[in-house]
Amino acid sequence: MKKVNSKMIVLMLTLGFVLIGCGGGNSDTPNDSISKEESSGYQESSGDEAAGGGSNIPYLRQNHSNYTEYGSNMTPTPVKDPNAMSINWTIEAKTEYDATQLADHIRYMVGKLESGQNPRAWDKLFLMEAYMKVNHLYTTQVDQSGRTVVISKNAIDSCAFSVISAHSDAVSGDFFAQGNIMNDYSAIAESILNSSFCDARRVDIVNYISQRQRQRGMK
């Protein structure tokens, strides 16, 4: 009898640990399932990225110099057309694998945004972009052919265009040029938010941000 009781205690303890480890059920924050690395923007991942199934951010960061403007050795740069409110990239990767890592990153991020998640939720620029995506204020198209990745983003108003434009500057100037993902673009986001371009949406965007913004380093 004594033996059975101790076995049962061990079983219950094990079950308890398993439940705690899984998170114990549903969670309702808008940042669910965003990895610490995406949320903080600077932590290395040890998860599915290495297998190609995730954001691929550590790979892109470490191999940022494997990407150039198509047909040149220059850092990839977005081609912007403010009248058409479009941003186009034509990027050449060193290998097809590099191209796939990049294309998969963008598709993965589009999926996150479309499903209402907020990568890097401490950074207002990324929150503003997430707002624009869930409200269908811009589209993202990604096409890969061998080592070439073509990205096309189209906004439907000037507020959304300013946001995707600022994001593309960060991608070019910090991410591709230096592999630097540490900077906080919230001040740029604030100035866009306070511009007349965003008059009609300001209240809505401020609410969106205040409901979702997280402290840096926190999920």
Question: Which chain residues interact with ligand HEM by CB under 6 A?
Answer: 38, 41, 57, 60-61, 64, 78, 87, 89, 105-106, 109-110, 113, 119-120, 126, 129, 133, 140, 151, 153, 167-168, 171, 175-176, 181
Residue closer to ligand HEM (CB basis): 21 or 32: 32
CA distances from 168 to 20, 130, 163 (A): 40, 14, 9
Nearest distance from C-beta of residue 23 to ligand HEM, angstroms = 22
Shortest distance (Å) from residue 145 CB to ligand HEM: 16
* Nearer of residues 120 and 214 to ligand HEM, judged by Cβ: 120
Q: Which is nearer to ligand HEM, 90 or 202 (CB)?
A: 90
Closest to 116 (Cα-Cα) out of 47, 33, 215: 33
**Phi-psi domain of 136 (left: phi exceeds 0; alpha: psi -120 through 50; beta: other):** left
Question: What single string gives the DSSP state of each residue in 25-86?
Answer: S----TTTT--HHHHHSSPPP-SGGGGTSS--HHHHHHTGGGEEETTSSSPP--EEETTTTE
Least distance from ligand HEM to the Cβ atom of residue 58, Å: 9
- Minimum CB separation of residue 171 from ligand HEM in Å reads 5
Nearest CB to ligand HEM, comparing residues 87 and 99: 87
* β-sheet bridge partners, residue 91: 69, 149
